[in-house]
Amino acid sequence: MRTLPQSARRQLDEAYAFSTVTPHLADGRTIETVVMHYDATSRSRARTTICVSSQVGCPIGCSFCATGRSGFDRNLSEAEIVDQFLMASRKLADAQRSLTNVVFMGMGEPLNNYAAVVGAIRRWAAPDTLNFSPRRVTISTIGLVPFIERLSAESLPVNLAISLHAPDDELRSSMIPVNRKYPIAAIVGAARAHAERTGRRTSYEYVLLQGVNDSPEQARRLAGLVKHRLSHVNLIPMNPVEGSPLAPPSKHRSQAFQSVLQAAGISTTIRATRGLDIDAACGQLRARQPQTVLTPA
């Protein structure tokens, strides 16, 4: 920008950055951002979805999650969240493609970084920036009830995904410690209220773990919890986590679990696992990075 005085250029250089996420964050830390391409089917159009992170690491500590094992460093700024979208958009433009959906299913608990997440969604949606509809954004949360209620009052029609993973409080608390503070009944109640207020369907994410939460009886209990006109269950065979004794169930056992839910009238899908072949499934990308890049700036 040689039309500006040198002093002004120095000030701009100190205060602003064109990108905060190429290839690492400004302080050397790493996060995960994954772009997924889905072909058209008889039931849906082709789409390109970006899975973005909201924190560096995650403080929740779920027993089955690779990200939780890496610990928690800090929240991402609004700019760092926005930049993940911009970086992917630039790369896709070279291939004459564009993003159709955003999911907050990368690193971190999005509602633990509430202001930056909502700020990024509003910035994407602004007509004078990206004009990207919040209806194409999904926030995945472990179930922080006060923030779900706050989100419902935002007049922001985002989709909500609840990481449920168990049909009863005893099991869920052993897997997800924060469940002791926000039990299942409170979470489901807040999710239903959000669905009714926004008209957006709630997705209940359920990671299937062999011999832990994948029995037909547990499927029946889950069906009783989530049955609602605006709900869907997304079954997710566990991604392998190095050093963990937990494992995904067989394809047959996963399908049997799904059949119980469908027989109870619950809309259900089994998520196709993506990214395992390139270590890009949840938590794997950062786990493969040298840990030296995670030291504080």
Cβ(56)–Cβ(66) under 8 Å? Answer: no
Helices (H) and strands (E) in the chain, counts: 10, 10
The contacts of residue 139 (CB under 8 Å, 6+ apart) are 104, 110, 111, 117, 151, 158, 159, 160, 161
Q: 3-class DSSP state for residue 205?
A: strand
Cβ(21)–Cβ(33) under 8 Å? Answer: yes
Residue (of 210, 197, 195) closest to 253 by Cα position:
210
Cβ(163)–Cβ(139) under 8 Å? Answer: no
Residue (of 260, 175, 259) closest to 209 by Cα position:
175
Torsion sign, CA atoms 171, 177, 181, 187: negative
- C-beta atoms surrounding 295 within 10 Å: 10
**Active site annotation includes 58:** no
Active-site residue identified among 32, 80, 109, 205: 32
**Active site annotation includes 282:** yes
* Residues tagged active-site: 32, 282
